[in-house]
Amino acid sequence: MASTTTTMAIMDIATLTLRSSFGSFALLFLLLISTKVTTSVALNNVFLSVKYKYAGREPSLSALKAHDTQRTLRILAGVDLPLGGSGRPDAVGLYYAEIGIGTPTKDYYVQVDTGSDIMWVNCIQCKDCPQKSSLGIDLTLYDVKQSSTGKLVTCNQEFCLEVNDGPLSGCAGNMSCPYLQIYGDGSSTAGYFVKDVVFYDRVSGDLQTTSANGSVIFGCGATQSGDLGSSGEGALDGILGFGKSNSSIISQLASSGKVKKMFAHCLDGKNGGGIFAIGRVVQPKVNMTPLVPNQPHYNVNMKAVQVGHTFLNLPTDVFEAGDRKGTIIDSGTTLAYLPDVVYEPLVSKIISQQKDLNVQTVHGEYTCFQYSGSVDDGFPPVTLYFENSLSLKVYPHDYLFPYEAFWCIGWQNSGMQSSDRKNLTLLGDLVLSNKLVLYDLENQTIGWTEYNCSSSIKVQDEQSGTVHLSSLVRSNN
C-alpha cells in the first residue's frame, strides 16, 4: 500500500502547488551522537560540532565565487516562487552533520540550513540519487518500512494541509503527502512526507551530554535532478531545515515543548571549526536587532557604514532592493555583497589608506594588491550599524584574504550581479566568522557578539532553570 500511494503521489506531483525555499545554509554541521535510545527525552539544549569540508586546504577563488553564485540563486528562488518548502545541499557545501533517524537507528549526513524549512533525506525508492560522495562518507537511503517508528504522512493530516496552505489538487485521503522543490539553478527534489524519530545529544550538565530524540516530520526524497542527482559533487543524504516556518525542525521541536525556538552558531574563521547550538544562550550576553517582518530569510535593517573613523555618505534607502527589504544574514555565503553605491566608496576608502598600491583585478572580479606589512596596521576596520544600536566590526584580516602573492578584498559588488540579484545586501562568513550569532525566533530578533569559537558558552535548561557550561571545542576529525 505504501508503494502504491507513493507512486500516485509522485505521478500527481507536477499538478500540485509548488513549495519553495530560499536556499541552503551551506554550513554542514557534525552532530554529536551518543548511544541512541527510543524513549522520548526533553531536548532543552542541543549541540552540534562543525566539520569543515576544506580542512587543510584553501578553496580556489573560482570555487568560492561559484558557491556564492549558486547560493544566491537559491535564496532568490525561494522569494520568487509563491510558497515555501525544502532546501538542498549546496554543490560546494562547507560543513556537514551526522544525525540518527529511525528504529533501529541509522546515521545520515545532512546539511544544516537556516534558509529552508523542512528536513528531507534521500529515500530507498530514489531515482538518480547519488551513490557516493567525494567527502569520503557513506551515503544511506532512508526506508520507512525498515523503521518501527516510521510512518507515512497522508494528505488529510494537518501538517500536509498547513505546509501547502490548504488541500492540494489530486491529493486526498490516505495518499502520501508530496513535496516538490524547484531551484533557481534548475535542480529539483520531489518526494513525500514521513514522520520518524530523530536523535541528538543534549546538554545535561557542565561539559556533559546525554542522548535524546524527538519525532519530526520530514521529506522522503524520491526523485532528484540537477546537482542533487547522481553526479552531484560533495553529495550528502539530505538537509536539516532551520527556517522560520512551522514545518522546520526547530519549530516542530519547539511546538512539542522540547526546545525553545532559539539557536546560535559560532564559526571559527581560522581553524574551520565551531558549534551550532539549539537553546537559550545566557552567556555571553548578545545585543539583538529585530528581524525585518514578512521576509522568508533572516533580514535586518542596516543603518550606516563606517570605514575607519569616517561614515560613508549613503542614500537612506540604499539597503532596500525591490520587495526584498533589509540586509540578508547568511552564513551559507562565503563573502559579503554590497550595493554599488556602498561598495565603490568603501573599497576606495580602503585602498586610499596606502599610497602607491598596485591594484589589480584577479579572475575578472577580485580587487587585489601586493602588501608586505601587517594588514591590520595598514588598513581600517569596517563597522556596520543596525537598528537598536547593534554594530558589527569587520577587521582587515577578516575582509582581506591572501591569494598567491596578493591580498584580495572580500567585499563584493552586488551591483555587478544579474538583474534579479542586483544591489542586494548580503553578509556571509567574511563578516560572521569568529562571532557568536544568536537567532531568537520567539522574539523575532537576531544578534551577535565577537567571540572565541574555541571557548565555552553557558546555556539554560528550560525545565529546571539550571545553567550549564558547554565547551565550544569539538573534534574536527
Indicate if 354 and 403 belong to the same structural domain.
yes
Q: Tell me what the pLDDT averaged over the chain comes to.
A: 74
Indicate if 272 and 307 belong to the same structural domain.
no
3-class DSSP state of 219: strand
Element spanning 368, H or E: strand 366-369
Indicate if 250 and 325 belong to the same structural domain.
no
Higher pLDDT, 34 or 472: 472
Higher pLDDT, 283 or 86: 283
Select which of 90, 227, 268, 330 is catalytic.
330
Catalytic annotation on 323?
no
The residue range of the domain holding 141 is 78-282+454-471
Higher pLDDT, 70 or 235: 235
* Amino acid identity for residue 158 in this structure: E
Indicate if 178 and 230 belong to the same structural domain.
yes
Dump pLDDT digits (tens) for 65-120: 665 665 554 444 332 222 112 222 222 335 567 788 999 999 998 877 776 787 89
Dump pLDDT digits (tens) for 16-58: 323 333 233 323 233 322 223 333 334 455 555 444 444 444 5
Select which of 90, 113, 227, 461 is catalytic.
113
Dump pLDDT digits (tens) for 264-279: 888 776 666 567 777 7
Indicate if 430 and 317 belong to the same structural domain.
yes
Task: Give the Cβ contact number of residue 11 at 10 Å.
Answer: 11
Indicate if 446 and 463 belong to the same structural domain.
no
Dump pLDDT digits (tens) for 178-195: 988 765 456 777 899 999
DSSP conformation letters of 221-258? EEEEEGGGSTT-TT--SEEEE--SSTTSHHHHHHHTTS
Report the distance separating Cα 437 and Cα 416, nearest Å: 29
Indicate if 462 and 440 belong to the same structural domain.
no
Q: Is the pLDDT of residue 128 over 90?
A: no
Q: Is residue 183 part of a domain?
A: yes
Quote the pLDDT of residue 216.
Answer: 92
Tell me, what CATH number does 151's domain have? 2.40.70.10
Q: Is residue 272 part of a domain?
A: yes
Report the distance separating Cα 251 and Cα 463, nearest Å: 18
pTM score of the predicted model: 0.76
Lowest mean pLDDT of 1-15, 244-258, 387-401, name the range.
1-15
Q: Is residue 355 part of a domain?
A: yes
Higher pLDDT, 66 or 326: 326
Q: Is residue 4 part of a domain?
A: no
Q: Exposed, middle or buried: residue 404 (CB in 10 Å: 0-12, 13-18, 19+)?
A: exposed
Q: Is residue 203 part of a domain?
A: yes
- Contact between 457 and 283 under an 8 Å Cβ cutoff? The reply is yes
Catalytic annotation on 440?
no
Dump pLDDT digits (tens) for 329-378: 887 677 888 999 999 999 999 999 998 899 999 887 789 999 999 999 99
Range 161-196 burial, b when 16+ CB lie within 10 A, else e = eebbeeebebbeeebbbbbbbbbbbebbbbbbbbbb
The number of domains in the chain is 2
Q: Is residue 421 part of a domain?
A: yes
Indicate if 176 and 274 belong to the same structural domain.
yes
Indicate if 203 and 254 belong to the same structural domain.
yes
Lowest mean pLDDT of 38-42, 68-72, 154-158, 460-464, name the range.
38-42
Q: Is residue 113 part of a domain?
A: yes
